[in-house]
Amino acid sequence: MLNFNAIHKDPNEWRDPEKYEPDRFDPKSPMYLRPDGKQRNPFSFCPFFGGKRICLGKTLAEFMTVFTLPLVLYHFQFEFVDPEHAIIKPNLQLATFKTPKIPMRIKTIRKINKPSAVAEEAEDKSTKEEAVAEC
């Protein structure tokens, strides 16, 4: 078990650990650094790390992704702007965090296989033709 209270109030990581200082999270503030002036450990502040403090939105976001992604893939078509990217994949560099930019074009796919939409369209055309014929 982790003692989050001790982690969040560690005097080696935080200046004046018992005091509430929102400036600690502003990179331009002197409070952003440790008391010795070095960069703070990224795990020195972990409010949504796990257990009962886990982020409430995490589960919702995962759940929504499962339902949203298939809908996006169903209604849109993705294609490379440069067709060469489909054949030759750009090199990924594992030593750096730089990822290659691969521009894509998104097209809407029109789904016509809905019988109700086709029937409504046919009805609209027939009523328009009748209206023209009556004039």
Q: What is the 3-state secondary structure (H, E, C) of the chain?
A: CCCHHHHHCCCCCCCCCCCCCHHHHCCCCHHHCCCCCCCCCHHHCCCCCCHHHCCHHHHHHHHHHHHHHHHHHHHEEEEECCCHHHHCCCCCCCCCCCCCCCCEEEEECCCCCCHHHHHHHHHHHHHHHHHHHHC
- Predicted structure pTM score: 0.39
Write out the chain's pLDDT in tens, 135 residues.
678 788 888 888 888 888 888 888 888 888 888 989 888 888 888 777 766 667 778 888 888 999 999 988 888 988 888 888 888 776 766 666 667 778 888 888 876 665 555 556 555 554 444 444 443
